[in-house]
Amino acid sequence: MFVVSWISRGPYGGLDWTWTGENYVRLLDSLVLGIFLKSFGYALGTTLVCGLLGFPLAYCIARSSKSWQQWLLILVMIPFWTNFLVRTYAWVLIFRADGVVNGFLKILGQDPISLLFTDFSVCVGLVYGYLPFMVLPLVSALERIPIQVEEAARDLFATRLEALWHVVVPLSRPGWVAGSVLVFIPSLGAFITPYLLGGGQSLMIGTLIQQEFLVARDWPFGAALSFGLMAVILMLWGWLGRKPEEQSMI
């Protein structure tokens, strides 16, 4: 792949073995950069929403009794038993013009709304697909926080929310980091979800790579895109992995 990314595309989509850096120059094209940025935005948004939804869920699971915990974790994992493509396609059925949501609105006497092939539908699909990857590391991080530490915060005049914010959230940091990486990276490169739920409207970097390989048959550029994505991810990884400055609370 790396070698392919440094050669030219043949006239009919094959490989022409002349060395060139042109594929990487094309990455800086405003259209490509725009798609990169957009994918970035989607991935960031997905990670944030997964965090916001995942934390309460993970907290409830981590603080429930052992027997409940098992069942709740199974519920989180049940969707994995089905193919990802099928699950994403289920959202198409829910969102499309004559889908479940609009059917429901019709019963209520409301006008139908267009949901499929919007930013919203892509985001829902991405969050739905990657939420468990946020929840599971958070559960294991939250489980390691002794309940007494939380009680100590409550005893020291913190309300329930303040105790969560000042004690539980910072102490579950390893879970946040792992969960964010696990959600951010696959959603940055996602291609099924934006393809099925975003249609032509929301081209993401993953979809672009897939198209370069399979539709446009421009393997060298597709390869260059892949390595560009990988470089970005590695840089982010390095940035997340560095030890944060310990800072005083007041």
Residues that bind other proteins (CB under 8 A): 146, 148-149, 151-160, 162, 166-167, 170-171, 173, 246, 248-250
CB 74, min distance to other proteins, A: 25
Burial class, 69, CB count within 10 angstroms (exposed 0-12 / middle 13-18 / buried 19+): middle
CB 248, min distance to other proteins, A: 6
CB 166, min distance to other proteins, A: 8
CA distance 199 to 197: 6
CB 55, min distance to other proteins, A: 17
Shorter beta-carbon distance to other proteins: residue 168 or 203: 168
CB 163, min distance to other proteins, A: 8
CA distance 126 to 134: 12
Shorter beta-carbon distance to other proteins: residue 1 or 156: 156
In 3-state terms, what secondary structure has residue 18? strand
Shorter beta-carbon distance to other proteins: residue 80 or 165: 165
CA distance 81 to 64: 24
CB 150, min distance to other proteins, A: 9
Q: Phi, psi at residue 131, to the nearest 5°? A: -55, -45
Helices 173-188, 219-241: axis angle to 10 degrees equals 170
Shorter beta-carbon distance to other proteins: residue 3 or 156: 156
Shorter beta-carbon distance to other proteins: residue 106 or 144: 144
Helices 173-188, 119-143: axis angle to 10 degrees equals 150
Burial class, 164, CB count within 10 angstroms (exposed 0-12 / middle 13-18 / buried 19+): middle
Closest C-alpha to 225, from 33, 18, 10, 17: 33
Shorter beta-carbon distance to other proteins: residue 29 or 151: 151
